[in-house]
Structure 1
Amino acid sequence: MKAIILKKQGDISQLELKDLPIPSPGKDEVLVKVNSIGINPTDIYARENVALDYIFNGESPKILGWDIAGDIVELGEGVSDFAVGNAVFGLLNFPTSSSPGHAKGYAEYVVARVKDIALKPESISYQQAAAAPLAALTTWQPLNKVKIKSGDRVLITAAGGGVGHLAIQIAKSFGAYVIAIASGSKKELLMELGADEFIDYQTTNFLDILQPVDYVIEALRDEHIEQTIKVLKQGGNLLSLWNHIEGTKWEVLAKEKNVNIFYNAVISSGTDIKALAHLMSKGILRPHVSKTFKLEEMALAHQEMETNHTTGKIVVSLQ
């Protein structure tokens, strides 16, 4: 099979197309012929980061990629919930702070744990399915846990990005009132996806016009964290994807406002992927794929992700 290996930590020049043996599924695993691969900022950080040794736990070759969609072609021992020919998708074996994890998704075939996948709804494409898992679970898992309720006011920064455009739809599925912040060029799409209000950050400071909100989904880095804490209600909730508040200059402000802080700690979960599949089958969740690349163009896909101006998701298509 063809796969993209990472020769060593570094820039896109370290990504290389190789011919490798097709892997075999073990107990409670399936072999998936990959149709589409979702590309995420995590892929870039893993490629550049010394955490590679932790993620792969010394294994070689190093193959990135966690979001996939494709068709099951072989069952491992003990698998009864899926069949050969099933179209599936999922976030495979994603690493956590307590457990290394790699899926080796940048390949024509990948072994998937059955506990990480769900059936792909017939109503969505493989590309949409591959675009969803990590970005959608980033919002779905914490919001489902805290039980956001109808009428809660939710502010989403970087709302036009991979996480942000899905966060709009997920928050709306709970009945929230959603305020999206992005560049003006993304307004039409984000309003179509369900945003109740749109703020163009290039022309407007949201602190000047917004009443306090119940939740902020903060998808930007340091420069906006103080503003997002200020716009929260007393006792409000901050889901921070990148910024850790403890030990920073923002900790005092957060404590003064009794802000509840949740961090981006996504885990692989077939149960949650199934919940996303249900939302997608009902048309409630619609991943927006802005650009696609071929497997041999993986370096270009990474380069596009590194611009930080992508609308929706980038997907690598093998078909």
Structure 2
Amino acid sequence: MATAAIPSVNKAWVYSDYGKSSDVLKFDESFPVPEVKEDEVLIKVVAAALNPIDYKKILGLFKEHNPPPPNVPGHDVAGVVVKVGSQVKKFKVGDEVYGDISEKVRPGPRKFGSLAEYTAAGENVLALKPKNLNFVEAASLPLAIETAYEGFERAQLSSGQSILILGGAGGVGSLAIQLAKHVFGASRVAATASTAKLDLLRSLGADLAIDYTKEKFEELPEKFDVVYDTVGEGERALKAVKEGGKSFAITVPIAAPTVLYGLTSTAATLEKLKPYLESGKVKPVLDPKTPFPFSKTLEAFAHLETKHAIGKIVVHPIP
């Protein structure tokens, strides 16, 4: 697409006040297309994934870190480069790319997220889309897979160790199982989910699938080198850690010495994982209702906010 074909305004989902997504997220047919900085590219968005951080930002939980509304939500993007900044070295017009466009999850000061026809992103957070993945699959990956990867690096998870993943059927958890097994070489991977999702955990590589509706994971005799909490189990998580083991979490509540961390988005992680994605060893996990069309973005958020989604929710096509 020639630069001249890029409009000055585009269709986008926008919030101008803080509150529930169903109340404040509105469709805007003429929101400005972002200007591209010298180290950024402009992307024609094909698909965008939703994450809990998106509705938390809309609620105003991190408003001290973010630009004042109106803002377009959305971290995860997959699309086509239509314009490149003067300092961009990695990409050219026509490249198919994906990434989490906010470098920091919470204090990610971006007015223009991915739930729009066009968005801008730094080349440091974008990677070329693996050729075997379609845009919906690619959009589902960046924030969740990078979050899991960073957690395991912080935990120094290594081959031969055991790990318990709390919330194994969610966006981060479903990828964490696969990374623990196939990338970090954990000798034993356990994960929790509700009854209907246990087969999914096993199919992703879990050696032990724990039904949290019937069993208390912290009361099992088996303890783990690493406990990775994606759902906020607080003190219960610590009770499953082996002596000398480690506990990491991506959401509250937590209990010390569990380490709570937020993602620093980087294309380097996506590039490291490219061989695993292209070989099919690590696969996207999509909710059965995905994709939601752009016009049904509010329904997509409503499904995410139930906290019962499986894997990731993606909006496609856009518009």
Q: What TM-score results when the alignment is normalised by the length of structure 1?
A: 0.89
- How much has 1:103 moved relative to structure 2? 4.5
After TM superposition, the structure 1 = structure 2 runs for residues 1-319 of structure 1, keeping only pairs within 5 Å, are: 1-11=10-20, 12-18=22-28, 19-56=30-67, 58=68, 60-95=69-104, 100-172=109-181, 173-176=183-186, 177-221=188-232, 224-243=233-252, 245=254, 250-251=255-256, 254=257, 261-290=258-287, 291-318=290-317
- How much has 1:169 moved relative to structure 2? 0.6
Contact 1:89–1:119 under 8 Å retained in 2: yes
Contact 1:244–1:263 under 8 Å retained in 2: no
Contact 1:119–1:277 under 8 Å retained in 2: no
Partner-residue secondary structure (3-state), 2:66: helix
- AA at the equivalent of 1:294: P
Structure with larger RCO (C-alpha < 8 A, sep 6+)? 1
Shift in alpha-carbon separation, 1:83–1:298, aligned structure 2, 3 A = same
Contact 1:71–1:87 under 8 Å retained in 2: yes
Count of aligned positions: 303
5+ unaligned residues in a row in structure 2: which ranges? 1-9
Q: CA RMSD in A?
A: 1.8
Contact 2:165–2:176 under 8 Å retained in 1: yes
- How much has 1:130 moved relative to structure 2? 0.9
- How much has 1:244 moved relative to structure 2? 5.4
Contact 1:74–1:84 under 8 Å retained in 2: yes
Shift in alpha-carbon separation, 1:106–1:53, aligned structure 2, 3 A = farther
> How many percent of aligned residue pairs carry the same amino acid?
32
- How much has 1:106 moved relative to structure 2? 1.1
Q: Structure 1 residues 97-106 or 179-188, which shifts more?
A: 97-106
Distance 1:210 1:70 in 2: 47
- AA at the equivalent of 2:19: G
What are the Cα deviations for residues 223-269 of structure 1, in whole angstroms up to 9, with x where unaligned? x3222211111121111111254xxxx44xx5xxxxxx332310121
- AA at the equivalent of 1:61: P
Distance 2:12 2:221 in 1: 48
Shift in alpha-carbon separation, 1:200–1:99, aligned structure 2, 3 A = closer
- How much has 1:53 moved relative to structure 2? 4.9
- AA at the equivalent of 2:80: D
Contact 2:105–2:264 under 8 Å retained in 1: yes
- AA at the equivalent of 1:48: L
- How much has 1:99 moved relative to structure 2? 6.4
Partner-residue secondary structure (3-state), 2:228: strand
Distance 1:121 1:78 in 2: 24
Contact 1:108–1:318 under 8 Å retained in 2: no
Contact 2:234–2:253 under 8 Å retained in 1: no
- AA at the equivalent of 2:228: I
What are the Cα deviations for residues 126-152 of structure 1, in whole angstroms up to 9, with x where unaligned? 111111111111110121244311121
Partner-residue secondary structure (3-state), 1:129: helix
- AA at the equivalent of 1:82: F
- How much has 1:98 moved relative to structure 2? 6.4
What are the Cα deviations for residues 66-86 of structure 1, in whole angstroms up to 9, with x where unaligned? 110001111111222111111
- How much has 1:112 moved relative to structure 2? 1.1
- How much has 1:51 moved relative to structure 2? 2.5
Contact 1:95–1:101 under 8 Å retained in 2: no
Shift in alpha-carbon separation, 1:24–1:97, aligned structure 2, 3 A = closer
- AA at the equivalent of 2:209: F
Contact 1:103–1:112 under 8 Å retained in 2: no
Q: What TM-score results when the alignment is normalised by the length of structure 2?
A: 0.89
Contact 1:36–1:316 under 8 Å retained in 2: yes
